[in-house]
């Protein structure tokens, strides 16, 4: 799968990340926002075992939790394999992207608006993507 135009990937999760083994991501629609909850990685970041984090995407127009897992990533079965810096991370994609609309499983939640940004989070067993105006991360409290 060769891309004519390649997006740029900016890593957003600098001092936090999802559990690399069983992140168990859950998408929670909430009016015009989408909340993505998952278990945090307690081995390389400050997090308790079984602690969850939430990324909230404001003014989300569409999202998907797709089937590409880490094996698919390393076998080149993901449309961004070989283009993205690495799997298991949270990115914002910018620039041209010939394949951004390829997945057939988008869930439309609101009408698209100007200023929508493309976000991508690679988990072990699936991939989350969305188009939204902004994002915010918060670790759950005790």
Question: DSSP letters along the chain, please?
Answer: ---SS--EEEE--SS--B-SS----EEEEETTEEEEEEEB-TTTSS--TT-EEEEEEET--EEEEES--HHHHHTT-STTTTTSS-SSSEEEEES--TTTT--S--EE-S---TT-EEEEEE-SS-EEEEEESEEEEEEPP-
Give tens-digit pLDDT for 53-94: 999 999 999 999 988 766 777 787 778 877 888 778 899 999
Answering whether pTM is above 0.85, one says: yes
Q: Return the pLDDT at 43.
A: 86
Give tens-digit pLDDT for 95-132: 988 888 888 899 987 777 778 999 999 888 889 999 99
Give tens-digit pLDDT for 5-48: 788 999 999 899 999 889 999 999 988 899 999 999 888 877 88
């Amino acid at each position: 799968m060769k891309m004519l135009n390649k997006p740029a990937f900016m890593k957003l999760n600098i001092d936090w990340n999802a559990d690399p083994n069983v992140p168990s991501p859950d998408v929670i629609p909430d009016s015009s926002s989408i909340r993505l909850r998952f278990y945090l990685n307690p081995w390389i970041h400050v997090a308790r075992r079984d602690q969850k984090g939430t990324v909230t995407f404001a003014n989300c127009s569409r999202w998907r939790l797709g089937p590409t897992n880490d094996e698919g990533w390393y076998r080149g079965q993901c449309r961004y394999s070989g283009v993205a810096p690495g799997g298991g991370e949270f990115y914002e994609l910018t620039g041209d992207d010939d394949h951004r609309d390829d997945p057939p499983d988008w869930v439309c939640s609101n009408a698209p608006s100007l200023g929508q940004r493309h976000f991508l989070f690679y988990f072990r067993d699936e991939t989350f993507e969305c188009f939204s105006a902004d994002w915010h991360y918060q670790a759950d409290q005790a």
